Amino acid sequence: MNRRDFMSKTTLGALTVAVGAPVVYGHLMPNGYKPLALQDPDPFSLFKKDKEMKVLNDRPWNIEARAHLLNDKITPNHSMFIRNNGLLPENIDIKQWTLTIDGESVTEQKTYTLDELKTRFKHHTYQLTLECAGNGRKEFNPPAKGNQWGLGAVHCCEWTGIRLRDVLDEVGINDAAVYIGYHAADIHLSRDPGKEPISRGVPMAKAYQEETLLAFQMNGEDIPMAHGYPLRLIAGGWPASASGKWINRISVRNQVHDGTKMTGKAYRVPCKPVAPGSEVKDEDMCIIESMPVKSLITYPRSGAILKSGQQLNINGHAWAGELEVSKMEYSIDFGATWKACDLEKPVNRLAWQHFSASVSFPEVGYYEVWARATDSKGRSQPMLLPGWNPKGYLNNACHRIAVKVS
């Protein structure tokens, strides 16, 4: 499916939504004619996103959810954030799509068609939490450069695919292997074919985890275009940028992968804590691996007005990168006292966990409900912003919603 086909196949449906009425004689529209209503593409119909999603950037597309849109246990496509570094691939023909495994540390370079991948290796399905490393960036002070994500750059979908390690084992890799790096079909913003918008990866230990997949399905269907159709690497619990979209090549490296956005300050934080606003040398920046413990109250939406004496049932999700969440609490007195929430076990490793609680308020007034998760190593979410870093990553400060009791 190339982008034009994708556009035209979805055009009539999208137009119906966008224009608010079926397009009479739509089937007679000449090929290549761009309907007026689509000349300024509407991302909501183009990517089938909820109208309440927030568009941060349109070239490249960066769209985030709001907390209350993430209430489902398994995130549906319409509430998934989009973080693109380049332009969408333009000509996707799944019959021609191949994945090449190469690099210094493979015994012999090998290329698979999509069909070969699907038929030769065993399929696995996992719910996996993917959070953008820059989720929460907008709160850092002094501000950090980049898309100013609020709190909606996280999702937990059900991914189906094959284990990366099964493929690597068949290809054969040597003992010098250190890292894998992905390469993909997206296009650099400058349209320079010699540049890759992003080419990140993970160390061999992460590449060899059971849950690290080469996925071709999301929530039981083909992966949506914006999320990596037809093939996406999924490395749950790590910065979502490690889960490369539209991948066509994986290099097994004998060094830490040095592709675009692996070096400099990208997806790195100071190895040692620094004061806010400090200048940090590139060599003092370390690659982010597991994401920190975090949670979101996804019900109710911030701004609820209750009657005096009315109970408030809250619920949401908590996750902790490579670890499990062992405790979930809430506070209605700005962190002075905490009460326990009911917390479910994860469906599988690296899936987010669901929590709920029934909250009572002692008297009328303005309240904030704060949520705090603690991971299996005893580390909790901070109430204020965690350590400042030049690029504004890893903000896991507790989520807060406002409530009035009248």
Partner 1 sequence: MKNEEHFIEQVKVIYRSLLWFCIVCFGLGFLILLIHFNPDLIKEEPTITAIEEEVSSDITETIRDSIHADTGLIKADGLTEVINNCTNCHSAKIIIQNRMTRENWLMSIRWMQETQNLWDLGENENIILDYLATHYAPKEKGRRENLIVEEWYVLEKGQ
Which residues of the chain form contacts with partner 1 (CB under 8 A)?
Answer: 55-60, 139, 141-143, 145-148, 189-190, 192, 195, 300-307, 310, 312, 368, 383-385, 397, 400-402, 404
Q: Are strands 179-184 and 154-163 parallel, antiparallel or unpaired?
A: unpaired
- Judge contact between 244 and 110, C-beta under 8 A: no
Nearer to partner 1, 50 or 166 (CB): 50
Q: For residues 131 and 66, what is the distance between their CA atoms, to the nearest angstrom?
A: 14
Min dist CB 313 to partner 1, Å, is 9
Min dist CB 400 to partner 1, Å, is 6
Q: Please, which residues have CB within 8 angstroms of residue 384's CB and are 6 or more apart in sequence? A: 397
Min dist CB 23 to partner 1, Å, is 26
Q: Is the peptide bond before 300 cis (omega within 30 degrees of 0)?
A: yes
Q: Please, which residues have CB within 8 angstroms of residue 39's CB and are 6 or more apart in sequence? A: none
- Judge contact between 315 and 298, C-beta under 8 A: yes
Min dist CB 25 to partner 1, Å, is 31
Min dist CB 306 to partner 1, Å, is 6
Q: Is the peptide bond before 43 cis (omega within 30 degrees of 0)?
A: no
Q: For residues 18 and 38, what is the distance between their CA atoms, to the nearest angstrom?
A: 8
Min dist CB 138 to partner 1, Å, is 8
Q: Is the peptide bond before 230 cis (omega within 30 degrees of 0)?
A: yes
Cα–Cα distances in Å, from 329 out to 216, 223, 295, 377, 405?
37, 35, 10, 16, 21
Nearer to partner 1, 60 or 237 (CB): 60
Nearer to partner 1, 136 or 161 (CB): 136
Min dist CB 238 to partner 1, Å, is 24
Residues in the chain: 406
**Strand partners for 339:** 330
Neighbour count for residue 21 (Cβ, 10 Å)? 9
Report helix, strand or coil for 219. coil
Min dist CB 76 to partner 1, Å, is 21
Nearer to partner 1, 86 or 346 (CB): 86
Q: For residues 294 and 153, what is the distance between their CA atoms, to the nearest angstrom?
A: 12
Nearer to partner 1, 56 or 214 (CB): 56
Nearer to partner 1, 174 or 190 (CB): 190
Nearer to partner 1, 121 or 149 (CB): 149
How is residue 351 written in tokens?
Answer: 């899936």
Nearer to partner 1, 141 or 255 (CB): 141
Q: Is the dihedral of CA 87, 149, 280, 267 positive or negative?
A: negative
Nearer to partner 1, 22 or 142 (CB): 142
Nearer to partner 1, 56 or 320 (CB): 56
Residue ranges of E strands in 223-376: 232-234, 247-253, 268-270, 285-287, 294-299, 304-306, 312-319, 325-331, 339-340, 342-343, 353-359, 365-375
Min dist CB 387 to partner 1, Å, is 11
- Judge contact between 223 and 89, C-beta under 8 A: no
Sequence letter at residue 229: Y
Min dist CB 229 to partner 1, Å, is 23
